[in-house]
Structure 1
């Protein structure tokens, strides 16, 4: 049974690192983002890529992910940050959604000229 907490106090989350790791590994949005990131970063040098670089690329991606998750756990797990998020949760979610809509519109605007040329 959950213990009552003081008004405005951030909720205690059991095993936050394990929960965050499980969420990150099972979150399907992360995989297309990773593919898009690799494509954007490596497409201009695709002629230099070969299968021998795969282990180094995977290692760099894993190391970068652990570093990023470590930073997230460190800063987002702090009680003041949790309280700030809880206080402004609705607006943070709305702003995040607006940013994703902006990304989608940008991608669509970039793709339309190529699609129009292909349909002619």
Structure 2
């Protein structure tokens, strides 16, 4: 296995996690509001989705048969509705007393698992990121290389997760978040609803038969 190929897979996985999106906003709220432990549980659950989407992207890049677009259209609709619910809940958040967080996630591991598997940027961004960084080595890719590439990608996910958790849980970040928590939560809610609208917008044409083949 070429070291360049492994490095590209590692970098693609790292960037996939580090690119700001719905998961980053969720981690900001959970980690800064509830601490590194809760943030780590959330990212631990989200890791399952990272692995699934990167595996599908790598399979598609290698040239195996791809999953039909209908599957991703249905997933896009479902995750859009899920994000809309989270966004609306955040937008309607109210201040709490006794120094409690405005938005508290009771089961961050479960939230991360659901979030990772229904992330609207999942497959498209994974495919785009891995394709961009692996394109120069495409002639060296085959099914035998998939396990090693997934291992390198998994390491990239872990490094990115640890880095984000360290940043989000830093005292300065938590202090800033606490000072402006309600405004940040409501603004995040608006963004989540925007992500939801985008997911539904892309899924609807395929489900309604409007998308050109």
TM-score (norm 1): 0.59
* Match of residue 37, structure 2, among 10, 18, 33: 18
Is 1:113 aligned with 2:211?
yes
Which deviations, in whole Å up to 9, do the C-alpha atoms of 1:61-106 show, x marking residues without a partner? Answer: 2112222222222378422222212245334312321233223313
Is 1:82 aligned with 2:101?
no
**Aligned equivalents of 2:118, 2:33: Cα separation in 1:** 29
Which deviations, in whole Å up to 9, do the C-alpha atoms of 1:1-41 show, x marking residues without a partner? Answer: xxxxxxxxxxxx99721122223322111234385243332
Aligned Cα RMSD in Å?
3.5
**Aligned equivalents of 1:89, 1:14: Cα separation in 2:** 10
**Aligned equivalents of 1:14, 1:96: Cα separation in 2:** 18
Is 1:72 aligned with 2:158?
no
**Between 98-107 and 55-64, the greater mean CA deviation after superposition:** 98-107
Q: Secondary structure at the match of 2:211?
A: helix
Name the residue aligned to 2:64.
Answer: none
Count, aligned residues: 103
Is 1:40 aligned with 2:131?
no
**Between 74-83 and 58-67, the greater mean CA deviation after superposition:** 74-83
- Structure 2, unaligned stretches of length 5 or more? 1-31, 46-108
- Structure 1, unaligned stretches of length 5 or more? 1-12
Larger radius of gyration: 1
Flag the structure with more relative contact order, 1 or 2, with Cα contacts below 8 A and sequence separation at least 6. 2
**Between 79-88 and 50-59, the greater mean CA deviation after superposition:** 79-88
Is 1:53 aligned with 2:149?
yes
